[in-house]
Amino acid sequence: MRHPNLLIEISREDPHNYAMTTATPIIDLKGVTFGYPGGPPVLRDLDFTLCAGERIGVIAPNGSGKTTLFHLIMGLVKPLAGQISIFGKALREEKEFSEVRRRIGLLFQDPDDQLFSPTVLEDVAFGPLNLGKTKAEAAAIARQTLAALGLNGFEDRITFKLSGGEKRLVSLATVLAMEPEVLLLDEPENGLDIRTRAKLSEILGKLDIAYILISHELDFLTNVTDLIYTMEDGRIRRDEELHVHQHLHAHPLGSRPHRHS
């Protein structure tokens, strides 16, 4: 595992320069403001850019609008002000968003929201079928995706009878089966045991697409992302004012003198 110090080094790079060197932004938010009816704005004049190949982590307290950020990108909720451009095109209408949605994969926080089909195979094949694949093609894609995630033999399992970790990995399979160009991952490590978490890290490490990952856990973020942003006052902070904090963790034989590699 990389030392948390590395995080500071990476984060001190100027994200603007980083973005300049790569191709056109995939996701570009400018001055986006959003609030739920009757409440204060959750996001205020937010700017955010994701470029090809970037793996961005977002760490922020509860209620700071991280999930809302994803829902805005997918066009599930509409901003009060500002502009959302995806793949170089400014989007406003539902129709424009629905065309772009198939190219972005959103992994929901709660797998029970994502898995609505009775069996695993049907759920994973749901996306490809909607993209116009034939039944045979969709089933083949679903089987391949499941196999790639080490979920062989899960095809006929009943979705609600899966364990929490299995549900999460199957949810990821349903998103990956659509061959998205970007992934938005909403606290994917939440509620997973150490083994499943390691498996998830391994899967994410093998992916060669850009993603944004929301998490509460710095350790996990440093493992699977290259840039870590924080959110404060409805904005994403990309400067080096990252608040370094100490954290405690438990591990076997922790009471004996030891080194962190």
Contact set with other proteins (CB under 8 A):
71, 74, 76, 98, 101-102, 104-106, 108, 110, 112-114, 116-119, 121-122, 125-127, 129-131, 135, 138-139, 158-160, 174-175, 178
Collapsed DSSP state (helix, strand, coil) of residue 227: strand
By beta-carbon proximity to other proteins, the closer residue of 131 and 209 is 131
What minimum distance in Å lies between the beta carbon of 139 and other proteins? Answer: 6
Q: Are 108 and 114 in contact (CB under 8 A)?
A: yes
User: Rounded to whole angstroms, how far apart are CA atoms 8 and 20?
Assistant: 21
By beta-carbon proximity to other proteins, the closer residue of 11 and 174 is 174
What minimum distance in Å lies between the beta carbon of 125 and other proteins? Answer: 6
What minimum distance in Å lies between the beta carbon of 242 and other proteins? Answer: 31
By beta-carbon proximity to other proteins, the closer residue of 184 and 192 is 184
**Residue 205, token pair as written in the block:** 């490490």
What minimum distance in Å lies between the beta carbon of 91 and other proteins? Answer: 14
By beta-carbon proximity to other proteins, the closer residue of 128 and 234 is 128
What minimum distance in Å lies between the beta carbon of 154 and other proteins? Answer: 14
Give the residue carrying structure tokens 């570009």: 28
By beta-carbon proximity to other proteins, the closer residue of 96 and 110 is 110
Ramachandran angles phi, psi of 205, nearest 5°: -65, -30
User: Rounded to whole angstroms, how far apart are CA atoms 123 and 191?
Assistant: 22
Strands (E), the chain: 25-35, 41-51, 55-59, 81-86, 89-91, 104-107, 182-186, 210-215, 227-232, 235-237
